[in-house]
Amino acid sequence: MKLSSVVLCALAPIVGAFAPIAVPSTPATSSSSSQLAAMPDGGVVITGSAGGVGFAYAGEFMDRGYDVVICDVKDCEAAAAALTARHPNGKVYHTKCDVSDASSCEALGEFAKDKLGNIGYWVNNAGINGGRRALTELSMQQVETVVKVNLLGIFYCTKVAMDIMAEQEGFTGHIFNTVGSGVKGGGTPGYATYGATKRGLPQLTASLVKEIDEGVQGYEKKKTKGTIQVHSISPGMVFTKLLLDDSTPELRKFPFGVLAAQPEEVAADLVPKILAQKTNGGLVEFLSTDRVLVKFFERFVLQKKSEYIDDDGNVIKMPGEQYDADGVRALY
């Protein structure tokens, strides 16, 4: 009997809560090492990439010879310098962008076209959670900010990317929208606003896939010079500010200590899957069903301890690394 079957039987009552979302598509497969030498198929834009998994994505793309535009609401100069020093196979360009502002997103698009020429991959990674609080304890400004960054920001950037990719004659551009906790429905107590914004993204992506493939009923389907594909990307739980901010020892022990991974590990897994995705409306994910089952088996059956969280729910700080007050490791 396969390991996955054994674990599924043993852990069926709790696996469902963490199972990945289902997206009807042809699954992406990891690329071979020969892809490192392949001619890049257009440049890459990554929002929210001054740190965290966005920063790690950029490094993985650059290792494969891709030129990358990184952007964030804060200055990205130090991030760009670190990427240049560590990943000499690709070039990195940096700019500021507030994804909650439409004009800022349009400026990002112009910057990316100027620096990259054709854009092959646009990863909508920017997102915030607004802090772990009950909705009644949040100000209207906090709610508005989360919705504008997580939902409107995806709309704005996707619209900008689609307009650019439509004009790239004979070229295919891929847009990846980041999903997170709340995407399957159910409760996200403490993160009601965040969860609601993530719940809306599969609907957006599914609608765009239909519009691209079939058009809108009653209107003539417009032909574009370039091909556009829109996908979902699910990095799962990543040890970043987004995850650890306002967390408790109990949350850090479980589920973080069991399922969360470092940004570099997630990016190394997902970037080859991004590059291998060829079907419109696809999903690339880190916490696949098999990976969730293995992590549960290692923790609850083999009693394997977390590399990153101790028995008291504290972040394990590695020698030589720098951490902030929330236990978030500095990437540069």
What is the CA angle 278-152-326, rounded to 5? 90
Amino acid at 220: E
Q: What are phi and psi of 198, to 5 degrees?
A: -70, -30
How buried is 294 (Cβ within 10 angstroms: 0-12 exposed, 13-18 middle, 19+ buried)? middle
Q: What angle do CA 178, 287, 311 make, to 5 degrees?
A: 115
> In the chain, what is the greatest distance between 2 CA atoms, to the nearest angstrom?
63
**Active site annotation includes 194:** yes
Contact 184, 137 (CB under 8 A): no
SS3 at position 292: helix
Catalytic residue, chosen from 57, 121, 194, 308, is: 194
| Strand pairing report for 283-285 and 227-234 | parallel
Tokens of residue 99, six digits:
């994804």
Which strands make up the sheet holding 172-178, listed edge to edge? Answer: 92-96, 68-72, 43-46, 119-124, 172-178, 227-234, 283-285
* Token representation of residue 313: 């729910």
Give the end-to-end CA distance of the chain in Å, rounded to a whole number.
Answer: 45
Neighbour-count burial of 195, counting CB atoms closer than 10 A to its CB (0-12 exposed, 13-18 middle, 19+ buried): buried
CB within 8 Å of 52: residues ≥ 6 apart: 238, 240, 241, 242, 263, 331
- Nearest to residue 54, comparing CAs of 111, 152, 122? 122
Angle between the N-to-C axes of helices 3-15 and 289-296, in degrees from 0 to 180, rounded to the nearest 10: 90
Residues classed as catalytic? 194
